[in-house]
Amino acid sequence: MLDIQQLRSDLDSVVSQLKKRGFEFNPAAFTTLEQERKIAQTNTEALQAKRNAASKSIGIAKAKGEDVSAIMVEVAGLGEQLKAGEAQLTEIQEQLKNLMLNVPNLPHDSVPQGKDEAANVEVRKVGTPRSFDFAVKDHTDVGAPLGLDFETGIKLSGARFTFMRGGIAKLHRALAQFMLDTQTEQHGYTECYTPYLVNAETLLGTGQLPKFEADLFGMMHSEAKMYLIPTSEVTLTNTVRDKIVPLEALPIKLTAHTPCFRSEAGSYGKDTKGMIRQHQFDKVEMVQIVHPDKSYEALEDMVCHAENILQALELPYRMVSLCTGDMGFGAAKTYDLEVWLPAQNTYREISSVSNCEAFQARRLQARFRSAQGKTEFVHTLNGSGLAVGRTLVAVLENYQNVDGSVTIPKVLQPYMGGLAALKLS
RNA sequence: GGAGAGCUGGCCGAGUGGUCGAAGGCACUUCCCUGCUAAGGAAGCAUACGGGCUUAAAUCUGUAUCGAGGGUUCGAAUCCCUCGCUCUCCGCCA
């Protein structure tokens, strides 16, 4: 959520910044609503003040044993007026809130401008793609004989679900373990275990609701709707909801390995084959809650924390700065890491690291107490470190051998009981 | 799933219709006293959203908030209804 004060005082600038990311904000509608709000609020509060004063004097008079009928007459019609005024004010505030909840974050000045991913800017490229002296297979063909079973996934659940068995399943687990260990032991994150099912309020805080309900899996549970988390950014970031954290508690660095569930509405036809785009996938997530002065520093750190995983796995990748039109709803700035997939002969997203500045914090009412004793919104950042399923894809493709086996990256071997390769049985 | 108890400010905890945004305590901040890693005294100390003034801040002022929502009333932390959550016991399970 944007700062409504900023909209009041600097509307034109906000509108033009939003335009950069392709969002049309109607300033006239906002201004009208704001004027109505101001009138309604001033009137209502004046009536309330009148009522409160009268009630107080009734109390005083009664305590003294005086007659209160004169004051009672004066207050007689107030109730109805007040009720109408309050209802109107609530209605307007509801509208304003709805409007605000559906406006995306402002892009940071350093974000390249553009309307889609074509305008993203490569920041750096690390590692050299391996050259193959045989025809490379994609991960589905490499994985199938080793236990990557799409048919069973489809039978059990439908398209975009995968079943794994044997060495592949273990490799998948090894990847997650390795990532989690690296984030906790090397980068100072606190390991967390979080719910996978959350309520609507939680998703409102991080920005998935109300606008993106179609991308979520939801179900009814005793009258209330609950949702499967699309990422543990949701649960980790919401740990500070409605909190005023002490200054010295910052930065808070959290990580978790969880499944993620996305209905990916609107992505039909994209990546239909294989496990690039799944309804359920695992991810090790990093979240940082930081002082506003430190958030851009933290963003760079977090990208490195994700890159370190790719480097340890010796997977070639590149880092891109997303342009204004390609960034997510809550992000002020986002870096994506894209891993090299030889079968696709291209780089594909494997991590996304975003600074949301105070956008989520405002929705979450997540604050800290500054050195001056004032409460201020924290800045929140999140990033994948990394998407486990896609990392498995990258390992299968980049480490495949001509005989159909897959070499296990060195850092994963301890997690695989010392196994050096997955071989056909 | 059944029965009971509870939900008040950063924390603990009073408060069953009227000068209650809320006693008291702890913690915290400032000051005084004291000369030693302590004690005593004074004051301050919730959050959000408006409005006035202002370059801005401070300040002033209004409103709302005692789990949430609704109701009764001139007036609700206090009474009524609905819901949520927490705890204890029982049942069931991993």
The string of DSSP codes covering A224-272 is EEEEE-S-THHHHHGGGTT-EEEGGGPSEEEEEEEEEE---TT-TTSS-
| A392 CB-near residues (< 8 Å, 6+ apart) | A139, A168, A171, A172, A175, A275
- Nucleotide of closest approach to A52 (CA, C1'): B75
- Token digits for A318? 């590149």
- Give yes or no for CB of A75 within 7 Å of strand B: yes
Give the amino acid at A192: C
- Give yes or no for CB of A424 within 7 Å of strand B: no
Task: Name the 3-class secondary structure at A356.
Answer: coil
State the Cα torsion A420-A255-A306-A283 to the nearest 10°.
Answer: 60
- Nucleotide of closest approach to A362 (CA, C1'): B48
* Cα–Cα distance, A62 to A71 (Å, whole number): 11
Print burial letters for A278-314: b (CB count within 10 Å at least 16), e (below 16): bbbbbbbbbbbbbbbeebbebbebbbebbbbbbebbe
Annotated catalytic residue A165: no
Residue with tokens 């997650």: A176
- Give yes or no for CB of A48 within 7 Å of strand B: yes
- Token digits for A232? 């543990």
- Nucleotide of closest approach to A45 (CA, C1'): B63
- Give yes or no for CB of A110 within 7 Å of strand B: no
Q: What is the largest CA-CA distance in chain A?
A: 103
Closest Cα partner for A234 from A264, A267, A265, A197? A197
Full pLDDT tens readout for chain A, 425 residues: 888 888 888 888 899 999 999 999 999 888 888 888 888 888 888 888 888 888 888 888 887 777 777 788 777 777 788 888 888 888 888 888 888 889 999 999 999 999 999 999 999 999 999 999 999 999 999 999 999 999 999 999 988 999 999 999 999 999 999 999 999 999 999 999 998 988 888 898 899 988 898 899 988 776 678 899 999 999 999 988 888 887 888 899 999 999 999 997 666 677 878 899 999 999 999 999 999 889 999 999 999 999 999 999 999 999 999 999 999 999 999 999 999 999 999 999 999 999 999 999 988 888 887 776 677 888 999 999 999 999 999 999 999 999 999 999 999 999 999 999 999 98
